Chain A
């Protein structure tokens, strides 16, 4: 049985950062991912990474912006840590070789971003996430003697010992279909978000909530699950993302009547208000008939000098051309709000530890919570790196003081049975893809920018039905090599767990805060709802809803205007 001090599941930025930190602390490390690490969805973070690195900026200002952006649901102790440690993290990245944009003097240069009171977003053209991911992977290749990489391995379950402590994981080698039990003193979940539970979404096909569901199934509470960010600028139809960097560079939003409508909703910050505000404004324009016939509004990048666009927004020039047939340097592009990010996830402390000893989580899979009700643009890369590193350090420290656990093979047998059962299903039920599509379209209709009791209740009913149907949903591929079909069936189960907890959280929160806007409770209600909602499994019964306090340090809730 392979045994490592620290086993990391997921190899995007959080996972890779955790691996480097744990290896740096002297642990033997394995990093495992269902895709090759550079295929991870961290790639898609285009715009940049926030840090108050400039002498005239301050971490307090960054923290305040983040707290305000979160609609006061973010935990301020965690936010303080993130913003305080941000400058050194960006410098560390620069020292590893990230090709950050420079000022004419050769220092790190910034761009403006939404919800921020200073230009503090550091970037590499509009491929920041990709550049970071590939540079970290360079470091991982450099560390090949201390970090074992299990690329294209799919985790089916987290393993606990009899005392409930995490002791490893079970994974399927996608290449040959074999199952393997991995022993580990600490396990870090870094397997990203659950955007595929929505359709369309900006999220990659791999973002199926695996880690969220794996932790949830063994009893870790999920927190803030109702907080789903709709990004203001996504392409209609396929949901492909147009970076906030476009607005950061000066692009404007117009409705079909040619009105720069953000003047009404956010007179000061305009297009650079926080994402929940901009998305809601767009959706209001569209719902009230001032959108284009395809249910969109227009993003106009033509006022950004063409040369600057070609240099700093090259990727979306390509996306506009290839995926919408539009030359964004010459004409506006039609966009709409689209599912983009889940602020919620597995509840952790500021060292990434979940309620299960030995199990850590970092990045989008986790909820520390630094994003609260709404994440600021360019804070997600920061979150992955800061809490990835902290988890790696904490996991290594735990591992240093204990013996290697010897998890029982029993569960391995069960997981193999689970897979055999999927492989042997007769073709009486529905197709996996049919259920997935129904789930995604339904979530995007009923659990989107605007929500209400009726829609959410019917969403919950649908999910319960889909869960039953998923039990018998069949697949075509019975093979062992790269059987993506059987993985799809397991992923569907993960997505359904995520969707259910998202809808339950949204139903529970009877107020409007951050990304959650309830048409039947349109106001923020600090008296009753300035608290986190957590959801956990409850034996065979319906999942259990609890509350957790919001940690406040120095910022009292205020009315939120931009």
Chain B
């Protein structure tokens, strides 16, 4: 048994008072969860503490909160660990972010999370009538989307999504992971329409800024950001859907630029990102950048000579690095259910599910 201090963010809407912090001392084994601690305070000291909870085992997704500023499930964090991570020993628990607070630790998930979920047409849309028996699909494809089926809709990823903080209309990590569950499902017949829809929506898949917060927040290893990146990849490589952020082309412009020049030739970077100097897409971009270019010239940051001529060429060492990378096998997608955790014995038994089919990853 140990004594722990819980510092709970309280908000009692009936009282008309502003939110405040309240401390509770609880007495529990350090290996019990923060939720157990909150429930002890609720049971013994103040029954008005509001928190959604049910399973106590990280499967129902009810008790999403922020503990010491980080999102997660209250039932999924040990008291001793939470106390250790807190700056002053008091375990701070507050409601999740990006969603309005209803009372204490309870947030309005309908207003944000579930509304966004509904946005991605979250049901299977098979083409034609179902077969007489089951759909025949590869075992790997089912295991692959089971990673997103593992989502328990707790909202931890939504809570700390940076893009959503800036753009509240962003569809967000949980709903987009759900979208991958259908785009990755061979039984669904609307992959292209789904991807086009999510790519063309300014708050869709290209609204994510790769901050990794959702991956860190997720208690179930769903890795929502990875699913968003897979949606982008499939949209571009399998359905020729335009990347409205131009991110992929921009990335490739860097790679090609270095491969050719060894050192970055900045003047080429912008046009190359839009398909080259004379590409119709590049012209308006160049025109739009004109004021910046002129200002740079004016301030002597670049000279016309430097901008137009780039004397540096990639030497042998650079080429060696590129050759080395090109010679490597294509990258395997990491999927929790397929490859598990890093495992020294993994290579010994290769009989079971095996790796998911190799996917080309233009991001690497």
Contact = CB atoms under 8 A, between A and B. Distances in A.
Chain A complexes with chain B? yes
Interface of A: 35-36, 38-41, 43-44, 91, 94-97, 99-109, 124-125, 127, 130-131, 134-135, 138-139, 141-142, 144, 151, 175, 204-206, 238, 240-241, 305-308, 310-311, 314-315, 318-319, 322-323, 325, 431-434, 437, 475-485, 488
Which bucket holds chain B's interface residue count? 35 or more
B241 to A, nearest CB: 23
Contacts of B98: none
B19 to A, nearest CB: 14
Interface stretch (B103-111, B227-235, B265-273): B103-111
B358 interface: no
A476 B130 contact: no
Q: Is the interface of B mostly helix, strand, loop or mixed?
A: loop
A99 B142 contact: yes
Contact of A41 (B12, B54, B110): B54
Given A306-B345, A311-B352, A479-B12, 15 more contacts: A36-B109, A41-B55, A94-B135, A99-B146, A107-B136, A141-B117, A204-B60, A205-B53, A205-B54, A305-B349, A307-B352, A314-B336, A315-B59, A477-B48, A479-B13
A204 B60 CA distance: 9
B60 A127 contact: no
B76 interface: yes
Contacts of B103: 479, 481-482
13 contacts: A38-B153, A43-B59, A95-B130, A96-B124, A105-B136, A107-B136, A125-B337, A205-B54, A307-B346, A307-B349, A311-B352, A479-B14, A480-B14
Interface string B113-148: 000011000111010001001111111001101100
A331 B31 CA distance: 19
Nearest to A203: B55
Contacts, number: 194
Contacts of B78: 322
Query: Which of B47, B137, B340, B341 is the most central at the interface, judged by chain A CB atoms within 10 Å of its CB?
Result: B47
A238 B52 contact: no
B47 A477 contact: yes
B149 interface: yes
B61 A481 contact: no
Contacts of A40: 60
A311 B138 contact: no
Contact of A102 (B137, B185, B341): B137
Contacts of A127: 59, 146, 149-150
B57 interface: yes
Contacts of A130: 59, 149-150, 152
Closest 6 CB pairs between A and B? A310-B340, A97-B124, A433-B43, A477-B48, A476-B47, A479-B14
Nearest to B336: A314
Contacts of B343: 306-307, 310
A481 B14 contact: yes
A483 B146 CA distance: 36
A35 B123 contact: no
B86 to A, nearest CB: 19
Contacts of A96: 124
B57 A241 contact: yes
A143 to B, nearest CB: 9
Given A43-B59, A325-B31, A432-B47, A35 B54 contact: yes
A106 B136 contact: yes
B275 interface: no
B134 A94 contact: yes
A29 to B, nearest CB: 17
Contact of A99 (B48, B61, B145): B145
A434 B45 CA distance: 12
B203 interface: no
Contacts of B349: 305, 307
B50 interface: yes
Contacts of A432: 47
B47 A488 contact: yes
B213 to A, nearest CB: 21
Nearest to A433: B43
B185 A99 contact: yes
Contacts of A483: 48
Contacts of A125: 143, 146, 150, 337
B102 A175 contact: yes
A434 to B, nearest CB: 8
Contacts of B106: 482
Contacts of A475: 47
A346 to B, nearest CB: 22
B56 A238 contact: yes
Given A124-B149, A477-B48, A39 B54 contact: yes
A479 B103 CA distance: 11
A485 B48 contact: yes
Interface in B136-195: 136-139, 142-143, 145-146, 149-153, 181-182, 185, 187-188
Contact of A91 (B134, B181, B338): B134
B288 interface: no
Contacts of B43: 431, 433-434, 437
Given A97-B185, A127-B150, A305-B349, A138 B56 contact: no
B44 interface: yes
Contacts of B182: 97
B46 interface: yes
Given A91-B133, A175-B102, A311-B340, A206 B123 contact: no
B57 A323 contact: yes
B320 to A, nearest CB: 36
A107 B44 CA distance: 53
Nearest to B78: A322
B363 to A, nearest CB: 26
Contact of B50 (A134, A142, A238, A482): A482
B194 to A, nearest CB: 14
B62 interface: yes
B58 A318 contact: yes
A146 B140 CA distance: 35
A90 to B, nearest CB: 8
B294 interface: no
Interface string B57-83: 111111000000000000010100000
A488 B139 CA distance: 45
Nearest to A140: B123
B139 A322 contact: no
B353 interface: yes
B296 to A, nearest CB: 52
Given A95-B130, A314-B337, A35 B52 contact: yes
B102 A44 contact: no
A308 B352 contact: yes
B58, B117, B123 — most chain A CB neighbours (10 Å)? B123
Contacts of B124: 96-97, 135, 138
A17 to B, nearest CB: 15
B102 A142 contact: no
B138 A106 contact: yes
Contacts of B145: 99
A28 B136 CA distance: 35
Contacts of B47: 431-433, 475-477, 484-485, 488
Nearest to B132: A91
Contacts of B50: 482, 484
A485 B142 CA distance: 42
A175 B52 CA distance: 12
A41 B149 CA distance: 17
A311 B56 contact: no
A483 B109 CA distance: 18
A307 B60 contact: no
A175 B109 CA distance: 12
A106 B55 contact: no
Given A101-B142, A102-B137, A206-B54, A479 B60 contact: no
A108 B188 CA distance: 17
B54 A204 contact: yes
B55 A44 contact: yes
B56 A205 contact: yes
